[in-house]
Structure 1
């Protein structure tokens, strides 16, 4: 890999001021167009000759500016008021109703690996600052935009994107993540033709239906990929606009739907970040760049250097039927299996005997815990495990003491009936008093008990999103202020309880993005624990997010969502692809099942450092039937873990060869289970067989098979 001596260089492009942003894997060349338009002259591979007047821009700038429209020209940002007829990234309205802006370049600032480009619209006093933070060792650039009102009149920000990305004419295809509850993170490819494709959430949170990540490639080319991921847990939007010359215009950021920001003189607004990059080795290579960046710069620093614990969650064993004696029995059995974290899920508080009541009343139920929660917490710690608990702090049941005392604290409109979903409403975290009340209650719970972990759940989308107590000009800020309020509460809890671990969950995988992952150590992928469905969901999830952030559950069979049955080893091996979790009634497991489970957990602990912190390669992506394989390589390329699966085997189908990737070709590797030694070159050229031993009759109806292999580098001294 080439060394990068300077990540940001001031240069020129066809005689215009320009800035070259370089990483080990790619480069971005920005320049100023006529009238101060920010151009994206290049985004892609770095051949070493970028920058300077020899670089050919995308448009003939020697024409008179008034005749030069910007259609079909790759832009670094678009403003309503530019000479363009494409999706704007910024729309700001003045008091007279005009929304046309013409920011002109004023200055640049380069500090460490951060470039800030400052533009100003003299007529309105609007200052626009574009920030580019270059992560040279990770191949990505963080982009965001800050606007400030330096004028004398208030402005209304009607749209502000985190980034605009322009690509030159070609035929492009997009890769995005879509799904629904129980079927999240399905990787979806589509050809981009003339017009717009919009991927978004209007549900108030990231959503099960789509995720704010994308990848782009040229149709028919297997290599180069451009990608981006948005750090925002509220409404978001990504627009892919194919222009008439097949140039591609991408606008990503907070969704402008029903949203605006009132900008008083002196006021500012900063967007969430868009992390963007380019990889030569496809979507898989793009994922590895994102994984390393997340592990090193996004996930909470407190726990980056320690492996996430194997955890047991009580939900599938107890539902709302929580009782201290039964919980102690479950904890005892979990400790015997090798579990490191015991998590009590829903049902421990208030009047919580079903999902109809109790949300918002975070007080321990004295009937279920007559001696207080401390009795269970102490026993879990005595058994050598950490203790965790389930919370849903942003929600409230109408049948709760909190709602009866403060019905105005929920998102609502005074002249519209509120819609219940899962018998609950959404607390308005845009309100300071709501945030302080929730923080005080959760703080008291954590201060009164040595709780190590919180599963932070979120189980409904937002409707009747109103804030009638706010000034009229501020009411449409509620979508953004709510998310910022959630971030504030989570951040303050982390600051006050620095050893606390947090898992983000939203009806499974409904809230996962780079914003919440800056505050949560890991995330649920789906409420669906069926391992064959999970393979496809985990494949899609890992296109955008690191295995270290991905929680997998081993559940009982038949699986609660699909009713399917699969072997214990298969369920464990699928869940081992990230952070291993177990749910279900482990008290009902046979002695033989417990022995196998304990062995699998012990084996996982040996593998997890490579799985969670190594480079991931999907060798054979999952399908409805047939083989599947995924590989993890430690950063020093000395250890390799390979999971091989057979999903619903097809009769008469012969074995495949699974060729490994990313190894040191000259190095020898030994397979841990049988001592076989071969070279990295052989493993990458000839590979492993997908075949499994013939199962004893009668065969399982689905023929689910799996195995895991650990390969370790052999030193030359040992070879001799």
Structure 2
């Protein structure tokens, strides 16, 4: 998108210095108030060039001065020590124990699409830089904060948020993602009450229970939505605070729980980014903005132009019982089906007959691979597939050579017994020797074998989070330094093996965020492969994350988590909403099942470019017993792919139709299969039927019905 005029403009607002930031249909107006406050005068639709000195009326709450507190004023940052009593975004403690900070604007810098506002606390020497990076074509502003100690005495940063966001008085509602293992990404709507709603993780990683994404809108309005997603894979916090005048105050960043950062003179600290934006067309529109931004700016650049492959994972077929002959048979069958990547999951390394031993050593088991792993790797490549392998590099079993040699490498406290979960402990990636040791072993594994893909797993939360070897003043930095250390190791591996693809997994869907997705190409969404559950899980996941990054698995029936049975086509159609994967005992599939699976994989490959890189529209979200439908439109709007599902039949409802979205009204579209031709306007106004034909086979029910419709633009000649 091109804009009339600059992306960032210096201006004035109510007589104050101000900055206008503009992107695709989106604008922010910031102004500097007395006492170092930054007012968020406007965040929302782009009103075009300034028609005065403010987007907002000059009301008292919009014109703070020394005579007014800042409560109820929409702010772009909040500091413990300013004239407000709302949630602070910055708390810094001096050596004398004082935590009062008083900032004043020192300078501003506009460089192309980036605004930097620099503040200083003259008494302590603290310098705070707020960065606003505008992604013009995506309707996105990326925010982060850097704090620097330019004084002569140390400072302790108890809290520094990535961003503070304020909205003017109104009644607001929020959407957030919550859940648990096997039931992740449950989209939750609530009216925001007076006071605070706190979303967070204290588990050391992103977590199954909540995700660092939010969206808010005004109650009763089915349109404007403000949203944010934090690029951080450790402890995080998002506070939604409704003030006494119903103004909304949002603080998002690293969780201050049990955390602090020591700043010696000359040292600095930068927060992870918060990606935030505004959409006129609700949650679906907000999701599309995030999807485009992730595809273009977040996911690793090496593979952005390469569709993620259809892959087969061995876990549900073999568990820990890995044996080279059986693996070769599975690989041959997978290649016959049209699979493009073969991934050996847990159980390939020495001492790994269950989850009690071997984790951390990453030595190929000579009993399972007498001629080495290369025998299987070469055969998989000969069959025309890439080769992938499962790793869990951040963890270690006590029963391992690594732990016996380096028991101090785990997160621990010397006077507290360590807690085992899944029979494993967490390696302390804050330590340089741990990072170097893990990197060296993984580099050797990848260099020795032609490994194209790594499934990077993470199967437990953190307890006894201690770093007793560190100086006392640095020990609470471990939560942040650990995550940065994980990022460092993955980044070094990607640099040394640039063609390597990585899937992030954490007991299924426990670690998906914009931080890890800057390093991993794909994300596992859940260990639960039940397709009826996955419809809801994938709907929630895709509110925040792109289908191109969303892994779906086709498993055997009955499904191993819930015991439900569903048709093969239904399982495939659900898994085809993002990146198609298969796991299960494909050697036991009948000839008919193999033929149908092969046809479904071929169909997926035909629609994959539109599914993975097009605009997604959830036409009808999943419910317990209603039809649901999701649509994808190619970027040029010439192809439309629609998935329609019915989990349970509801007789007597009468005919229903599902209206499509995002088409060119005057363009003509032809449906593959029956050749029906109609216009984009008709498909958006009248839609397509949600009903399915009656079951052909006697005794079949209306449950578990699904179909794909593909509409392609018709070239009009003459």
Please state which band the TM-score falls in when normalised by the shorter chain. Answer: over 0.9
Secondary structure of residue in 2 paired with 1:309: coil
Match of 2:228 in 1: 228
Deviations for 1:221-261, whole angstroms, at most 9, x for unmatched residues? Answer: 00000000000000000000000000000000000000000
After superposition, where does 1:273-312 map in structure 2 within 5 Å? 273-312=273-312
Structure 2: 5+ residue stretches without partners: none
Match of 2:417 in 1: 417
Q: Any conservation in 1 of the 2:695–2:702 contact (CA below 8 Å)?
A: no
Q: Any conservation in 1 of the 2:348–2:368 contact (CA below 8 Å)?
A: yes
Match of 2:318 in 1: 318
Q: Any conservation in 2 of the 1:566–1:702 contact (CA below 8 Å)?
A: no
Q: Any conservation in 2 of the 1:11–1:18 contact (CA below 8 Å)?
A: yes
Secondary structure of residue in 1 paired with 2:377: helix
Match of 2:36 in 1: 36
Match of 1:340 in 2: 340
Secondary structure of residue in 2 paired with 1:119: strand
Match of 1:485 in 2: 485
After superposition, where does 1:337-376 map in structure 2 within 5 Å? 337-376=337-376
Q: Tell me the distance in 2 between the aligned counterparts of 1:463 and 1:405.
A: 22
Match of 1:513 in 2: 513
Deviation, 1:5, is 3.6
Change (3 A) 1:243 1:398: same
Deviation above 2 Å: which 4+ runs of structure 1?
Answer: 1-5, 49-67, 651-655, 696-702
Q: Any conservation in 1 of the 2:295–2:548 contact (CA below 8 Å)?
A: yes
After superposition, where does 1:588-627 map in structure 2 within 5 Å? 588-627=588-627
**Matched length:** 718
Deviations for 1:432-480, whole angstroms, at most 9, x for unmatched residues? Answer: 0000000000000000001000000000000010001100000000000
Q: Tell me the distance in 1 between the aligned counterparts of 2:377 and 2:139.
A: 44
CA root-mean-square deviation:
1.2
Deviation, 1:65, is 3.7
Match of 1:582 in 2: 582
Match of 2:464 in 1: 464
Q: Tell me the distance in 2 between the aligned counterparts of 1:265 and 1:624.
A: 58
Deviations for 1:257-277, whole angstroms, at most 9, x for unmatched residues? Answer: 000000000000000000000
TM-score by length of 2: 0.99
Deviation, 1:64, is 8.8
Match of 1:160 in 2: 160
Q: Any conservation in 2 of the 1:41–1:57 contact (CA below 8 Å)?
A: no
Match of 2:78 in 1: 78
Deviations for 1:604-659, whole angstroms, at most 9, x for unmatched residues? Answer: 00000000000000000001112000000001100000000011112323231100
Deviations for 1:313-363, whole angstroms, at most 9, x for unmatched residues? Answer: 000000000000000000000000000000000000021000011100100
Q: Tell me the distance in 2 between the aligned counterparts of 1:358 and 1:64.
A: 62
Q: Tell me the distance in 1 between the aligned counterparts of 2:89 and 2:611.
A: 39
Q: Tell me the distance in 1 between the aligned counterparts of 2:56 and 2:643.
A: 47
Moved more, 694-703 or 22-31: 694-703
Q: Tell me the distance in 2 between the aligned counterparts of 1:210 and 1:699.
A: 42
Q: Any conservation in 1 of the 2:204–2:234 contact (CA below 8 Å)?
A: yes
Deviation, 1:193, is 1.2
Deviations for 1:503-539, whole angstroms, at most 9, x for unmatched residues? Answer: 0000000000000000000100000000000000000
Q: Tell me the distance in 2 between the aligned counterparts of 1:311 and 1:282.
A: 34
Change (3 A) 1:715 1:701: closer
Q: Tell me the distance in 2 between the aligned counterparts of 1:356 and 1:55.
A: 62
After superposition, where does 1:671-682 map in structure 2 within 5 Å? 671-682=671-682
Q: Tell me the distance in 1 between the aligned counterparts of 2:547 and 2:246.
A: 36
Q: Any conservation in 2 of the 1:58–1:74 contact (CA below 8 Å)?
A: no
Change (3 A) 1:8 1:54: closer
Match of 1:629 in 2: 629
Q: Tell me the distance in 2 between the aligned counterparts of 1:613 and 1:217.
A: 27
Moved more, 653-662 or 580-589: 653-662
Secondary structure of residue in 2 paired with 1:133: strand
Match of 1:547 in 2: 547
Change (3 A) 1:356 1:162: same
Q: Tell me the distance in 2 between the aligned counterparts of 1:587 and 1:27.
A: 56
Match of 2:428 in 1: 428
Q: Tell me the distance in 2 between the aligned counterparts of 1:700 and 1:647.
A: 13
Q: Do structure 1's residue 383 and structure 2's residue 383 form an aligned pair?
A: yes
Deviation, 1:695, is 0.4
Q: Any conservation in 1 of the 2:61–2:72 contact (CA below 8 Å)?
A: no
Q: Any conservation in 2 of the 1:11–1:52 contact (CA below 8 Å)?
A: no
Structure 1: 5+ residue stretches without partners: none
Q: Any conservation in 1 of the 2:42–2:56 contact (CA below 8 Å)?
A: no
Secondary structure of residue in 1 paired with 2:161: strand
Match of 1:129 in 2: 129
Secondary structure of residue in 2 paired with 1:147: strand
Secondary structure of residue in 1 paired with 2:357: coil
Q: Tell me the distance in 2 between the aligned counterparts of 1:22 and 1:662.
A: 24
Q: Any conservation in 1 of the 2:237–2:254 contact (CA below 8 Å)?
A: yes
